[in-house]
Chain A
Amino acid sequence: MKDRIRVLIAKVGLDGHDRGAKVVARTLRDAGMEVIYTGLHRTPEEVVSAAVQEDVDVVGISCLSGAHMTLMPRVIQLLKEAKADDVFVVAGGVFPDEDIPAMKSMGVAEVVLQDTPPAMVVEVIRNLVSSRQPR
């Protein structure tokens, strides 16, 4: 296992709401993780390609455009195709209640909603990575 947890923070969809993504990126970096941030308006293809290239443990996807039910399964599908489905996908954003279990059944490992304290986000990522068998 690598020494430091590697996380890709990605913005998929066309929305420009990056406040949360940037706060999370900085929080994880301050907690000692390696953080790569994709910037805005990324397609699922771009995100998965970056995740594979950077060999990350977790992809944190922020989406506040309302397109999460289209884009999240696409990311998961592409990760599978790239044989990178051991990468955990964590979703963050504004989602209606019923979309949360739906996203989890599609393969999203965790959903982090607004008002989640930064320390909790760190814990969620650490727990996910430590739950995995060493690769």
Chain B
Amino acid sequence: MLNPEILERIAAMRREWEERELRDFTARQPESRAECMTASGIPTKRVYTPEDIAGTPFDEIGLPGRYPFTRGPYPTMYRGRLWTMRQIAGFGTGEDTNLRFKYLIEQGQTGLSVDFDMPTLMGLDSDDPRSLGEVGREGVAIDTIDDMEALFDGVDLESISVSMTINPSAWILCAMYIAVAERRGCDPAKLSGTVQTDILKEYIAQKEWIFPIRPSMRLVRDLLVYCAERLPRYNPINISGYHINEAGATSVQELAFTMANAIAIVEDVTRAGVPVDDFAPRLAFYFVAQSDFFEEVAKFRAARRIYAKLMKERFGATRSESMRLRFHCQTAAATLTRAQPLNNIVRTALQALSAVLGGAQSLHTNGMDEAYTIPSEQAMKVALRTQQIIADETRIPNVVDPLGGSYYVEALTNQIETAVFDILKKIDDLGGAIRAIETGYLQRAIAESAYDYEARKQSGEEVVVGVNKYVDPPERAGIEIHRADPEAEARQLNRLRTVRVARDNARVDRLLEQLAVEAVDSSKNLMPTTIELVKARASLGEIVRSLKAVFGQYVETPVF
């Protein structure tokens, strides 16, 4: 905090400037808009001075690797280790995606990330009638452990971290991963990676669900507790704002709703008797990097500070690792345009830059072609090179939190923090995140923001280059597009059939019954039996069906 005398001198200088330079200049040349705001609607000034952060003690900004972690979770950040370059991939069968993984590793990627197809996300086998046309389309198809083996064939699971984007069926995929690693003789203590597992944001944003909210939370808890005890380097949950933002929420809402979900998860696990410091160090986050550059940098900084305060003050965490927020980041897919697709490379680069300046631990950069279909090999290569250029050519990684101390970025960080705590208060008053989902409050807020954005885009207030400004006549993409392999589905179905014939079906049935019995007793952890099941080559769909009989199914009341 500045001493009042210095502050008064700065204020006087600013007033004098407003009277002289500013007034003269704007008299000759008025500004193009009277009021500016961030993408979330926070008003911004034309220039910021020390006055704007005069009330912020340096402790709030602090130093990296120390509470409240505004400047980063680690003292040396990218000087010690660069962020993990983690391009997500998934299509066809395990073998198909395995080839893409190997290509990406060859190109210098440092972590793997798996996208599963829709049936896998929804807990359906490839031969389920509802899976028709979806098998291996928007991700890799996984039915049994045999598919998981193929997916990671020749990949050293002890040396590379693997992230899996899977939620309602996360505990099964995680069981398969653990079982494959065990079969290969890997040390569980060396397994590093992440499984998304964030079921709450599914109900409000990504919308892949199976069971009702409360039994789904129990599965989250079982996975968290199991991993906290046995996989010390593994992140069993990735509390995600990405999808909330992509579904239409502003960045402030993204952060607030994600923190509300985090609170609900921590409350649930601690209520089950697990001390907060036993699992909090393994909680990880996932945010989008949107197009408002400085708002995003400030959002990432505010996220760390808010989380640190919540964990310390609300949950009484005492370990520093319980309070430091680590996050994966992905550039904003919904900002990519079908028109002039090469422009998407530039959008993605700028978004990636905000993630790096905001201190992300890992990053996925989107392909230029994602307004057409899932990305081609070439699009992924350019996206990965974008990260490598930031890492190796710009010298940005040499300094931790280089925007720290910017009057604007610090003021915006403060404003985002205040706005988020206001929303959290409101959600608390509604009875917490789960209640706010059950009543549709969060879903409505997101739909409302999405609608507002479309209206602003239509009016031209929100400019999208190539779409509502600098528009070209309609043309074909002119870039290489990924083509789905029409044979992949048949190959997948064939393997599933083979497994069902070859395995010990009596054992699978016995274990499925055992799982259903354990499901009734919420004090039982369902992970050990699930691991036995996947080892016995039970399919994802079979395991899910046995629990649907106990838990029921989620039914949404759609709001628009």
Q: How large is the interface on A (under 10, 10 to 19, 20 to 34, 35 or more residues)?
A: 35 or more
Given A114-B338, A114-B371, A118-B455, A19-B130 contact (CB < 8 Å): no
| Cα separation A70 to B119 with both chains bound (whole Å) | 15
B248 at the interface (CB under 8 A from A): yes
Expressed in whole angstroms, the minimum distance between the Cβ of A31 and any Cβ of chain B is: 13
Question: Per-position contact with A for B495-537: 1 when CB-CB < 8 Å, else 0?
Answer: 0000000000000000000000000000000000000000000
A65, B450: Cβ atoms closer than 8 Å: no
Which B residues are CB-close (under 8 A) to A14?
118-119, 121-122, 124, 130-131, 134, 208
A115 at the interface (CB under 8 A from B): yes
B133, A39: Cβ atoms closer than 8 Å: no
B558, A66: Cβ atoms closer than 8 Å: no
Which B residues are CB-close (under 8 A) to A118?
454-455, 458
Which A residues are CB-close (under 8 A) to B122?
14, 41
A65, B134: Cβ atoms closer than 8 Å: yes
| Cα separation A119 to B248 with both chains bound (whole Å) | 19
Which B residues are CB-close (under 8 A) to A65?
118, 134, 137-138
Q: What number of residue pairs across chains A and B have CB atoms under 8 A from each other? A: 111
Which B residues are CB-close (under 8 A) to A15?
118, 138, 208
| Cα separation A21 to B454 with both chains bound (whole Å) | 12
Expressed in whole angstroms, the minimum distance between the Cβ of A38 and any Cβ of chain B is: 8
Which A residues are CB-close (under 8 A) to B44?
none
| Cα separation A18 to B457 with both chains bound (whole Å) | 18
A32 at the interface (CB under 8 A from B): no
| Most chain B CB neighbours (cut-off 10 Å) among A16, A65, A114, A119 | A16
A25 at the interface (CB under 8 A from B): yes
A39, B132: Cβ atoms closer than 8 Å: no
Which of B131, B137, B447 is in CB contact (< 8 Å) with A66?
B137
| Cα separation A133 to B135 with both chains bound (whole Å) | 40
Which of A19, A70, A114 is in CB contact (< 8 Å) with B450?
A19
Q: Please classify the interface of chain A as helix (H, G, I), strand (E, B), loop, or mixed, using the class held by over half of its residues.
A: loop
A39, B138: Cβ atoms closer than 8 Å: no
A103 at the interface (CB under 8 A from B): no
Q: Which of A1-34 contact B (CB under 8 A)?
A: 13-19, 21-23, 25-27, 29
A40 at the interface (CB under 8 A from B): yes
| Cα separation A15 to B119 with both chains bound (whole Å) | 9
Q: In chain A, what residue has the closest Cβ to B205?
A: A16
Which B residues are CB-close (under 8 A) to A43?
130
B339, A115: Cβ atoms closer than 8 Å: yes
Expressed in whole angstroms, the minimum distance between the Cβ of B51 and any Cβ of chain A is: 40
A71 at the interface (CB under 8 A from B): yes
- Nearest 10 CB-CB pairings of A with B: A70-B133, A16-B207, A66-B137, A67-B133, A14-B118, A39-B558, A22-B560, A25-B560, A117-B458, A67-B134
Interface residues of A (CB under 8 A from B): 13-19, 21-23, 25-27, 29, 37-41, 43, 65-67, 69-71, 94-97, 113-115, 117-119
Interface residues of B (CB under 8 A from A): 118-119, 121-122, 124, 130-134, 137-138, 202, 205-208, 246-248, 334, 337-339, 370-374, 447, 450-451, 454-455, 457-458, 464, 467-468, 476-477, 481, 483-484, 556-560
Can you give 11 contacting A-B residue pairs, CB < 8 Å?
A16-B205, A18-B247, A18-B558, A19-B246, A22-B450, A26-B447, A37-B558, A66-B137, A94-B371, A96-B373, A96-B481
